[in-house]
A and B are shown apart, each in its own frame.
Chain A
Amino acid sequence: MAVGKEIRTKINSVKNTQKITSAMEMVAASKLRKTQDRMKAAKPYAEGIRRVIGHLSQASPDFHNPYLEERKIKRIGYIVVTSDRGLCGSLNVNLFRALLNDISEWQKKGVEVDLCLLGAKGVAFFRRLKTNIVSVATHLGDMPKMEDLIGPITSMTEAYKEETIDRLFLAHNVFVNTMIQTPDIRTLLPVEPVGADDLQEHWDYIYEPDASDLLTNVLTRYVEAQVYRAVVENIACEMASKMVAMKSATDNAGKFVDRLQLAYNKARQAAITQEISEIVGGAAAV
């Protein structure tokens, strides 16, 4: 009996899709756990470098370093961290929306904008807009390497040192928990002064070779560590968001299959009823 063949085919195809989305959900869940570990692994370095900067600012607070000084703002730069792949809900879109608001406010004040994009989705989005893209890094993978990030970061920090840009922002998603990821934009350069904690009496380091070079080195690494952390955190966000998106896709596919199954059953029942009534009608005619 050929009743509802189209519906049966459709049911099978939806079921296949459901299998794929539920597999993707599980993959995202396991990757999320790994990235969260990596976020934790990056923490000691960030804390260490923060502590050194704190000590430094306490040891000799009268530093002059371009990384620490506020300038009049004529042009700004953004380092934008996005995911490389889609299928992760509204993660990137939310970030773009927040970023575009921010950018248009600056542009109203007559400030020009440079962009450094980390992640393929950001490139695809900003290519269509008339913005000035300075540097790009894509396909960083699930385990980003510092090496791959140094290039784009250097292109922005150099621009800051040469006073091409007067302020550098970092835009990425913050991992609140598995359900919530919020877009965040904050200042990378100039580095905000870090308060030192414990040591009270006055003292100073022995510097080898000299203080200002070292400070530049430390601050550069501080910026890099923050960007690295943002990239890792954004991957965690991507995985969490993907997990949730794929879960709801799987659920929706389930509902869809139920509806199709109902339609199929009704069609089948209608066909049987019609056949019976035809037989009965035929018998009555004889």
Chain B
Amino acid sequence: MASIHVDIVSAEGEIFSGEAEMVFAPGQLGEIGIAPRHAPLLTDLKPGEVRVQTSEGEEQFFYVSGGILEIQPQLVTVLADSALRAEDLDEAAALEARERAREALEGRHGEIDLEQAQRDLVEAEARYRAAENLKGRR
């Protein structure tokens, strides 16, 4: 029986590596089923499930919050994101990092707890919004 090698990796560690008969992944334009000797393909992943059917007939599930999928005839590579990503989320994070630079320069140390709490609130809101958007897009 033909099989295809699957690597699921994230920046923080290897998640799965092994042979499979069939792989399903949530591509940007819809779910993709990958059998051995699939044509080379490159796509973004949406948040969702990657399913791997091993040759013993077992099925394994992995949640990915996005990433990149590369298909070669004998090899599937899932480069999973280790964090929830969306355009506005990244921007919020970038702004936050800038804000922190300004604070560090001014050398403010007081009211850290209150500020931290407010920042956490903003972050949580941004996260929630991004999650809503992602849900809406699906």
Contacts and interface: CB of A to CB of B under 8 A. Distances in A.
Interface in A198-221: 203-209, 213-214, 217-218, 221
A133 interface: yes
Contacts, number: 138
A206 B105 contact: no
A188 interface: no
Contact of B91 (A45, A48, A154, A224): A154
Interface in A168-226: 203-209, 213-214, 217-218, 221, 224-225
* Secondary structure of the A contact surface, majority rule: helix
Nearest to B96: A151
A170 to B, nearest CB: 15
Given A134-B98, A147-B83, A158-B94, A56 B42 contact: yes
A98 interface: no
Chain B contact residues: over half helix, strand or loop, or mixed? mixed
B82 A52 contact: no
Contacts of B90: 150-151, 154
A127 B104 contact: yes
A206 B39 contact: yes
A136 B44 contact: no
Contact of A45 (B11, B85, B97): B11
Size range of the interface on B?
35 or more
B14 interface: yes
B86 to A, nearest CB: 11
Given A41-B13, A56-B42, A224-B11, A208 B100 contact: no
Contact of B93 (A41, A154, A213, A218): A154
Interface residues of A, number: 47
B49 interface: no
B112 to A, nearest CB: 11
B79 A221 contact: yes
A204 B41 CA distance: 8
B41 A44 contact: no
A5 to B, nearest CB: 41
B28 A209 contact: yes
Interface in A46-62: 46, 48-49, 51-52, 55-56, 59
A136 B12 CA distance: 21
A18 to B, nearest CB: 33
A34 interface: no
B1 interface: no
Contact of B7 (A48, A150, A154): A48
Interface string B35-54: 00001111110000000000
Contacts of A146: 11-12, 81-83
A135 B100 contact: yes
Interface of B: 7, 9-14, 17, 27-29, 39-44, 68, 70, 72, 77, 79, 81-85, 90-98, 100-101, 104-105, 107
12 contacts: A45-B12, A135-B97, A136-B97, A145-B83, A151-B92, A154-B91, A204-B40, A207-B43, A208-B28, A209-B28, A209-B44, A214-B68
Interface of A: 38, 41-42, 44-46, 48-49, 51-52, 55-56, 59, 116-117, 123, 127, 133-138, 145-147, 150-152, 154-155, 158, 203-209, 213-214, 217-218, 221, 224-225, 228
